A and B are shown apart, each in its own frame.
Chain A
Amino acid sequence: MSISTSRSDENYRLCALDRKLILATQSGLPLVPDPWGALGKELELPADEVLARFQRMQDAGVIRRVAAVPDHYRLGYRFNGMTVWDVRDDAITDMGRQVGELPFVSHCYRRPRHLPYWNYNLFAMVHGTSREEVEDKASQIHDLLGDTCEGHTILYSSAILKKTGLRLRKS
């Protein structure tokens, strides 16, 4: 597999050392006072260089941030509702932006329909501590969409089957 994963000049080009750092941390950053030094030891790099590379990848947006990823169920957000909407194609961009601005919507995307099984083209993720809370939030989205929306449903998640985050293949 090639080391550069980038196709366009707009994308940051991961070099071999960046890629090694990603591989070394994709299951987690070392929980020691000097994590950059610990990684540097592993990869035979000075700690300063490890830190500088992380900074560069974060500035380039390759890394959104170095952060804790919670299991939202265990934080009490037991109801994870993927609300999906059948929005008129001529209204979707405008309505998508408005729905995305609602403070309780964590992700909002336009995605393709797959008729006849799937006629929804707008996805808005809503989390809550109860089903009622998710439904109340969904009804606010419904009000906002008005007559641009021809149908909707909420897909609650009932189990996490896998959650590893994005991974590079080792080969």
Chain B
Amino acid sequence: MSAMTECPETTGEFTEVERTVINRLQTGLPLVHLPYKAVADELGISEQVLLHTLQNLLDRRILTRFGPMFHAGEMGGGLTLAAMRIPEQDFENVTAKVNEFDEVAHNYRREHELNMWFVVATEAPDDIARVIAGIESSTGYPVYNMPKEEEFHVHLHFPV
């Protein structure tokens, strides 16, 4: 698989079961014994159908992941947003180098002079500077570090 994933076309239609599973599972699995069965009962489907639908959505990359969502700040780690200005001819090469860093969690191409935007997450706050310096020396381009100075709101939910 190439390092770059082009913006995929929308798949448009989901089955009713898929729609229900996508909407329900974005809000969180209950932490109980047989949690998938608990959600399946709630949705009025069988546990097997739920697990199968979930696996299928992951295989089709409709869902990028199903699992614990960590809060780096609460874990005592470092978290920042960083941007780079990369000439077009170097873009793919730099993407590969930046993505090689385990600490780079998300990386997006954006339509702007600053055209690469990524999140750096580290176990210790002091590691942010080390990772940024590492990316600068590996790629040869400056990194603009934009840590959050105040958080006003985080609410991620995409109903379908």
**Contact yes or no, A159 B36, CB < 8 A:** no
Contact-residue size bin, chain B (C-beta under 8 Å from the other chain):
35 or more
Interface string of A72-89 (1 = CB under 8 A from B): 111111101010000000
For B148, list chain A residues within 8 Å (CB). Answer: 109-111
Given A96-B150, A101-B153, also A29-B105 (CB < 8 A) = no
In this complex, what residue of B is CB-closest to A103? Answer: B155
- Among A1, A68, A99, A111, chain B packs the most CB atoms within 10 A around the CB of A68
How long is the Cα–Cα vector from A72 to B36 in the complex, in angstroms?
A: 23
For A109, list chain B residues within 8 Å (CB). Answer: 148-152
Determine which of B28, B35, B99, B123 lies in contact with A169 in the assembled complex, contact meaning CB atoms within 8 Å: B123
Determine which of A22, A75, A97, A167 lies in contact with B102 in the assembled complex, contact meaning CB atoms within 8 Å: A167
CB B37 to nearest CB in A, in angstroms, measures: 6
For B25, list chain A residues within 8 Å (CB). Answer: 67-68
Determine which of A1, A54, A82, A156 lies in contact with B123 in the assembled complex, contact meaning CB atoms within 8 Å: A1
For A14, list chain B residues within 8 Å (CB). Answer: 75
In this complex, what residue of A is CB-closest to B25? Answer: A68
Q: How many residues of A contact B (CB 8 A)?
A: 86
**Contact yes or no, A160 B111, CB < 8 A:** no
Determine which of A34, A69, A101 lies in contact with B33 in the assembled complex, contact meaning CB atoms within 8 Å: A34
How long is the Cα–Cα vector from A123 to B148 in the complex, in angstroms?
A: 9
Determine which of A69, A73, A117, A118 lies in contact with B8 in the assembled complex, contact meaning CB atoms within 8 Å: A73
Say yes or no for B42: interface residue by CB 8 A criterion: no
Interface string of A13-54 (1 = CB under 8 A from B): 010000000100111110111111000000000010001001
In this complex, what residue of B is CB-closest to A4? Answer: B76
In this complex, what residue of B is CB-closest to A74? Answer: B62
How long is the Cα–Cα vector from A11 to B109 in the complex, in angstroms?
A: 33
CB A35 to nearest CB in B, in angstroms, measures: 7
Say yes or no for B144: interface residue by CB 8 A criterion: yes
**Contact yes or no, B11 A61, CB < 8 A:** no
In this complex, what residue of B is CB-closest to A161? Answer: B107
For A114, list chain B residues within 8 Å (CB). Answer: 144, 146
How long is the Cα–Cα vector from A117 to B117 in the complex, in angstroms?
A: 14
**Contact yes or no, B75 A11, CB < 8 A:** yes
How long is the Cα–Cα vector from A1 to B124 in the complex, in angstroms?
A: 9
B residues with CB within 8 A of A: 3-8, 10-12, 21-22, 25-29, 31-37, 47, 51, 54-55, 57-58, 60-72, 74-77, 79, 81, 83, 85, 95, 98-99, 102-114, 116-118, 121, 123-125, 144-158, 160
The 4 closest A-B pairs by CB, nearest first: A100-B153, A100-B152, A65-B28, A6-B76
Q: Beyond A75-B10, A75-B158, A157-B117: 5 further Cβ-contacts under 8 Å?
A: A69-B69, A71-B64, A108-B154, A109-B149, A166-B79
